Amino acid sequence: MLKAKFITGLDIGSENIKILVVEERKGDSEPEVLKYFRFPSEGIRKGTIINVEQASNSLRSALEEFQNSFEQKINSAIVNISGSHIFSTPSRGVIAVSRADQKISPEDIDRVLQAAQTFSLPSNKEVLDTIVKEFIIDGEKGIKEPLGMKGIRLEAEILALCGFSPYIKNLTDTVLNAGLQIQDIFVSPLASSRAVLTPRQKELGVVLLDIGAGTTSLAVFEEGDLIQASIFPIGSGHITNDIAIGLRCDIDTAERIKLEYGSCFLHSGKKKEKIKNIHKEEPLVFSLKMLGKIIEARISEIFDLTNKELKKIARQGKLPAGVVLTGGGAKLPKIGEMAKKELKLSCKIGYPKGIAGLEQDPSFALVAGLVLSGLDSEQEQPVFGEKFTTKIKKIFKIFIP
């Protein structure tokens, strides 16, 4: 039996279920990989669970197969939530400082955060996560730790990450039905950014794009704060579908073509390739130029959606640390060059950091981020008294007027 304390990340994706178990280390040592596992998923479309029974069965099968080669039983996991129903909304709370000497107390901070949390949402929406962006004292912005400072008026700005309640319940039901307890839930783009982005990138201003099979997650940071998050219902799996339609082949052959010949680079001339057609005797002959056009069209759509999100917050082409691409879709050849052209930003491919022994593969970013985010939560210490932490307690109910 393993005596070391370990933590489990569970990425429930449109094509695969990924499980990552790491061993916690004392001090500043990085956690170390104990086991990584990937298993096909069912009942999930565009990041959202549409069939709880199918999703539960596939997760249960994944766990059973995983446990066959891992001696310690997994009872709980840190889970991601994805889908285009996820959205972010800013909110602000305002209070008068209570003490006669105008010194801000832990109670004042608790009150202003409660005020910031008090906003209306439709009854079928709820908050998944809430990030404190800054405090404002008598109009002075950019304050991170107001405890002990003096002022008359205290404000708090937060960013709430929200989702559609039935979809959230589908996720929790799926995990619980498979026999797992949920240790924590993190919104996908926030988890991916934890594993991939550096503090300097977040401080300068950066957009992360995690291109998965069924969705693309976006997170924008500036001055260290998350300022925008969203999830597009388009991913690299849609490229496979487009190839199957455009080249008139089956989906398995289309996936092989994407992996072996796919590129965002448009080939000139009439060069053709030949590949064995899985379900037919004759090989499939296709044009590399045609393949490039199919891939470019779908990737261009993802970047168009990204530009629209950046335009909403007046950051289009204005992020000094550029764009960081991660997820399985980031492995597509020449995608970085296309991102530079379409987004007018510098571009890097993001690999997960902070876990010893983890393969340097962009497709591991989300599950690695779940584990690291879970470790952060465990180590998070109260800053302004027992009730307050930098990140407000998750999945609280909003006051409905």
Domain residue spans of the chain: 87-163, 236-294
- CA separation for the pair 120, 340 (Å, rounded): 39
| pLDDT of 226 over the 90 cut | yes
Q: What is the pLDDT of residue 162?
A: 94
Mean pLDDT for 275-279 is: 71
Q: What percent of the chain has pLDDT over 90?
A: 81
Q: What is the pLDDT of residue 103?
A: 96
Give the dihedral sign, CA 303/309/311/314: negative
| pLDDT of 276 over the 80 cut | no
| pLDDT of 399 over the 60 cut | no
Burial 262-297 (b: 16+ CB within 10 A, else e): bbbbebeeeeeeebebeeeeeebebebeebbebbbe
Residues 79-94: pLDDT tens digits? 999 999 999 999 999 9
Q: What is the pLDDT of residue 393?
A: 42
Q: Are 83 and 215 in contact (CB under 8 A)?
A: yes
In this chain, the answer to whether the domains covering 87-163 and 236-294 adopt an identical fold is: no
| pLDDT of 2 over the 70 cut | no
Q: What is the pLDDT of residue 25?
A: 85
- The per-residue pLDDT of the chain, averaged, comes to 90
- The answer to whether domain 87-163 has CATH 3.40.50.1100 is no
- Nearest Cα neighbor of 161 from 399, 398, 367, 401 is 398
Mean pLDDT for 71-80 is: 94
- Nearest Cα neighbor of 185 from 391, 399, 325 is 391
| pLDDT of 49 over the 80 cut | yes
Q: What is the pLDDT of residue 5?
A: 85
Q: What is the pLDDT of residue 268?
A: 66
Q: What is the pLDDT of residue 29?
A: 85
Q: What is the pLDDT of residue 1?
A: 42
For the whole model, what pTM was predicted? Answer: 0.89
DSSP state of 103: B
Name the band, by pLDDT with cuts 50, 70 and 90, for residue 401. Answer: very low
| pLDDT of 395 over the 70 cut | no
What is the architecture of the domain spanning 236-294? 2-Layer Sandwich (3.30)
Name the band, by pLDDT with cuts 50, 70 and 90, for residue 377. Answer: confident
Name the band, by pLDDT with cuts 50, 70 and 90, for residue 278. Answer: low
Residues 4-27: pLDDT tens digits? 689 999 999 999 999 999 998 887
| pLDDT of 277 over the 90 cut | no
| pLDDT of 185 over the 50 cut | yes
CA angle 172/174/175 to nearest 5° reads 70
| pLDDT of 202 over the 90 cut | yes
Q: Higher confidence at residue 143 or residue 393?
A: 143
